[in-house]
Structure 1
């Protein structure tokens, strides 16, 4: 019984530390994004929330994969994006085209997920605002 209580306390402490890390890093990242001129500062805490892992090393590796995937996704869409209409078929086509090479190159699955996420968000938001790509990179 005492082992179970100790385990529960440890899990509670881990959960509280996770909340603290996410909250503090999200606030700092929002303000830093604003200082750097972002028109979409919510992207910074979004990245924090998605990237925070159990250890700093795992978080850094995951963040690195996100950066690679984001840059690849932007590169896959930036030149043709303005010439296409936003609809399900073009999104599907862009996703297929943007993810084939990374799959063939056997890139990490996190990178491939980030490519897909970036293609979708950049494609949709570029039609609404010109600042989105630069803010996504920031």
Structure 2
């Protein structure tokens, strides 16, 4: 995967907080960076709204690629043991799509689209070194490949 490409979607709560804190100081709503960060981290609606915006936009992209919502995913270098695996699942929205793929922990991720192939680079406490990668395809492609 070419990480020099600009990701189509990014989830990074630190970057969200930094951007919002910078805006609060520049707009004069907060006098110091510390006050801005206190305000940002006290505003859970900010992160919830950002998450909804990301998953809604992701869902629209997924619907355009694969309207039936059946997916096949392979993971490489999962977690601290660098495991590999795969699964098929159904998801008809961005939130369910990510819940089916990513571990149930605080994650930062980048999503790259290449036609109908999706690559997700994930970071979390058991995989902090950028090497956990998911490749996702519409499931019907894998069924056709296996039949051939």
The answer to whether TM tops 0.5 is no
Greater fraction of residues in helix: 1
After TM superposition, the score normalised by the length of structure 2 is 0.28
Greater fraction of residues in strand: 2
